[in-house]
Amino acid sequence: MLDESPKSATGYLALVDGTIYASPTEAPIAGGVVLIQDEKIAAVARRTQVQVPSTAQVLDCSGGTITAGFWNNHVHFFERKWANAAEIPAAELSRQIQDMVTRYGFTSVFDLSSMWENTRRLRERIELGELPGPTIRTTGEGLIPPGAVPSEAVLGVLGVMNFPAPEIADASQATAAARKLLEKGVDGIKLFASSPRSTPLPESAIRAAVYEAHKAGKPVFVHPNSGADVLTAVRAGVDIVAHTTPYSGDWDRSILTTMQERKVALIPTLKIWLEFMRHDRMSAQEKAAKAETGQLRAWVDAGGTVLFGTDVSYINYDPSDEYALMAEAGMSFRQILASLTTAPAERFGDSKRGRIAPGLQADLVVLKGDPARNIRALASVQQTVRAGRIIYRASD
């Protein structure tokens, strides 16, 4: 059962008797209540301290855990299933969104390269209330080095739409391409630093795109393939490193120090690399796992900001392996929760979201179990609530 129109008033909704993590730093409230009025949080406290109006719709969350809505900060709406998003029947589009996004508790996503016009229409249909879905931010088409687009055959196997991405070879092309996207209204700029099929982007081109994005107040993301790519991009001013680089070994001090000095954020995407490597020898897979978790561990030990992201698109949608790998890299439940909630809200300047507090937007997740005991419980969602409306409800 899904509420059909996110736009209309919802009255009161009360999530009762769950363990509430209002934020990653506060003590949990056992047997608490989150009271929602229309699209906002009205109260969060112990059961005895909140007056639940008799007209409220009540969700029994006993045995479960309540947190702020999750952000997946690295997704792509570029699989063939999203093509012609304006024409797909709302019911089918809704099932696709649920399958990839809302059933895992994501109420906000950042799409880091897809067809701008198509993703814009998808977002518009959600915002108009045609179907339930997350808040979508998007960079539109990512900027790539010349010749970096995979062949039609490879795209076909990956299941990805063939859409033209702006190719940039130098600073003036980067400036023009970034301006064009920013004028259309994208929420950030994505750069692919290098590709096995081309020479890497020159630092001056990255710098030029960063300049345009920052002038418009928008963040810049980079897809690196090596530690050297990370260093070049961070020196050129990018804000967010959208992957670890498991094929290039440990990140040395100079990389980590530069990342720290520039206060960048890291999206680890640990699971996708191992999924790509599933046909390789086990020793190679183990080496990559060790490298990527080592990079994340070093970044966390350095006090760096982590934003949760899986690069979900043509990979399996379930994020539970990502959570397990982040824990393996030494991140605590609370650190992982921060990467899903407060860290992205803060990084993207969204003061209405990220925590459970009166007055904030009612974006919430009800989990079936206790992620403080088993981190995979973060992927086991009972209900997802966006702006006070239930946008996903598990069938069991």
Among residues 141 and 311, whose Cβ is nearest to Zn ion? 311
Which stretch, 29-37, 57-65, 303-311, 326-334, contacts Zn ion (CB under 5 A)? 303-311
Compute the distance between CA of residue 253 and CA of residue 215 in angstroms, rounded to an integer.
30
Q: Min. distance of Cβ 221 from Zn ion in angstroms? A: 9
Per CB under 5 A, does 321 bind Zn ion? no
Among residues 14 and 264, whose Cβ is nearest to Zn ion? 264
Per CB under 5 A, does 311 bind Zn ion? yes
Contact between 34 and 355 under an 8 Å Cβ cutoff? The reply is no
Compute the distance between CA of residue 20 and CA of residue 49 in angstroms, rounded to an integer.
14
Among residues 311 and 321, whose Cβ is nearest to Zn ion? 311
Which stretch, 120-128, 274-282, 305-313, 340-348, contacts Zn ion (CB under 5 A)? 305-313
Among residues 17 and 311, whose Cβ is nearest to Zn ion? 311
Which stretch, 40-48, 127-135, 147-155, 309-317, contacts Zn ion (CB under 5 A)? 309-317
Q: Min. distance of Cβ 223 from Zn ion in angstroms? A: 6
Compute the distance between CA of residue 185 and CA of residue 119 in angstroms, rounded to an integer.
12
Q: Min. distance of Cβ 142 from Zn ion in angstroms? A: 8
Q: Min. distance of Cβ 269 from Zn ion in angstroms? A: 7
Compute the distance between CA of residue 259 and CA of residue 247 in angstroms, rounded to an integer.
19
Q: Min. distance of Cβ 76 from Zn ion in angstroms? A: 6
Number of residues this chain uses to bind Zn ion (CB under 5 A) = 1
The C-alpha torsion from 13 through 391 and 72 to 146, rounded to 10°, is -150
- In the chain, alpha helices (H): 90-100, 116-127, 152-158, 171-184, 203-215, 227-235, 253-261, 270-276, 282-301, 320-328, 333-340, 342-347
Q: Min. distance of Cβ 393 from Zn ion in angstroms? A: 29
Which stretch, 22-30, 147-155, 256-264, 308-316, contacts Zn ion (CB under 5 A)? 308-316
Q: In terms of C-beta density within 10 A (0-12 exposed, 13-18 middle, 19 or more buried), how is residue 92 classed?
A: exposed
Both tokens of 118, joined, read: 């198509």
List residues binding Zn ion (CB under 5 A): 311
